[in-house]
């Protein structure tokens, strides 16, 4: 597929970049100076604000707003109605556009429905944010976090399965059979 698809009700401002194979659905608004990679899926009623960067194969479900300061690497999943912020202390009468905090969602991370990501904290690669979680600090790679405020309760594989580490710090994904190592509170995939 060459080019991208946009539903007739979508608004796409001049000055944005949209990769080949991307689909933009009903009532979404793509604002100037944002960059959307190839093969992304932008659901219904999504706003992509100026200077937001989305990598390739990013899935944005319905009713998500991506505000200036947000960057998502390749293969990120953003669940329905999840929320990003970009100012720590917003006030209607105080202009803080110069104070937008950056949030980076690393490759392969998933953020569940209705989760809130407070700005200025990164989400590690292949991390898994449970539905409704409120993230108020940086999330490590492969971490599983839930609750309000979000707390880590385990680790996830790249295929989205809970990892159970043995006494030697080794876990095997039940679907992919990939092997993971937990050492000093850091998970890494063992390449064969």
Q: How many domains does the chain have?
A: 2
The verdict on residue 95 lying in a domain is no
The domain in which residue 181 lies consists of: 164-192
Question: ∠ at Cα 108 (102, 110), nearest 5°?
Answer: 75
What's the pTM value of the predicted model, to 2 decimals? 0.95
169 and 186 housed in the same domain? yes
Structure confidence by residue, pLDDT tens digits, 102-157: 999 999 999 999 999 999 999 999 999 999 999 999 999 999 999 999 999 999 99
| CA nearest to 65, candidates 99, 98, 50 | 50
The verdict on residue 93 lying in a domain is no
Ranges of the chain with pLDDT below 70: 1
The pLDDT score that the predictor gives to residue 1 is 52
158 torsion bin: left (phi>0), alpha (psi -120 to 50), beta (else): alpha
Q: What's the rounded Cα separation, in Å, for the pair 173 and 135?
A: 25
Mean pLDDT, the chain, integer: 96
The alpha carbon of residue 71 and the mean position of all alpha carbons in its chain are separated, in whole angstroms, by 8
76 and 49 housed in the same domain? yes
Query: What percentage of residues in the chain have a pLDDT greater than 90?
Result: 97
118 and 183 housed in the same domain? no
176 and 82 housed in the same domain? no
168 and 77 housed in the same domain? no
């Amino acid at each position: 597929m060459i080019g991208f698809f946009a539903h007739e009700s979508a608004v796409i401002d001049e000055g944005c970049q949209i990769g080949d194979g991307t689909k933009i659905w009903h009532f979404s608004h793509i604002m100037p100076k944002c960059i959307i990679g190839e093969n992304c899926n932008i659901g219904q009623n999504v706003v992509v604000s100026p200077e937001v960067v989305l990598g390739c194969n990013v899935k944005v479900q319905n009713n998500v707003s991506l505000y200036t300061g947000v960057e998502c690497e390749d293969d990120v999943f953003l669940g329905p109605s999840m929320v990003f912020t970009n100012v720590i202390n917003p006030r209607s009468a105080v202009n803080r556009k110069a104070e937008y905090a950056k949030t980076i969602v690393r490759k392969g991370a998933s953020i569940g429905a209705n989760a809130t990501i407070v700005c200025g904290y990164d989400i590690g690669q292949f991390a898994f944010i449970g539905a409704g979680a409120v993230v108020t600090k940086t999330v490590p790679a492969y971490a599983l976090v839930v609750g309000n405020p979000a707390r880590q309760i385990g680790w996830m594989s790249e295929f989205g399965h809970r990892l159970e580490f043995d006494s030697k710090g080794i876990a095997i994904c039940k679907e992919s059979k990939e092997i993971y190592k937990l050492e000093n509170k850091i998970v890494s995939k063992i390449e064969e």
